């Protein structure tokens, strides 16, 4: 992954989705990430308790 500098031109299609990724987009992304982490932790805990 190459980090974009501020003076680099944005990749094609960048402007189309960037404005929508405002506070709401970040919030949705965090909620999805939290759900994934919670599901992974739950499965790991169930497997661990069964293994004990």
Q: What is the pLDDT of residue 16?
A: 52
**Paired tokens of 36:** 């994934």
Strand, helix or coil for residue 11: coil
Residue range 28-40, pLDDT digits in tens: 888 899 999 999 9
Runs of H (alpha helix) within the chain: 14-17, 23-51
pLDDT in tens, 11-22: 555 555 555 556
Q: Quick check: 25 pLDDT over 90?
A: no
Q: How far apart are CA 11 and CA 2, in angstroms?
A: 12
pLDDT, position 15: 55
């Amino acid at each position: 992954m190459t980090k974009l500098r501020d003076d680099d031109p944005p990749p094609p299609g960048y402007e189309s989705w960037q404005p929508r990724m405002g506070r709401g987009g970040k919030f949705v992304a965090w909620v999805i990430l939290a759900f994934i982490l919670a599901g992974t932790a739950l499965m790991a805990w169930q497997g661990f308790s069964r293994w004990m």
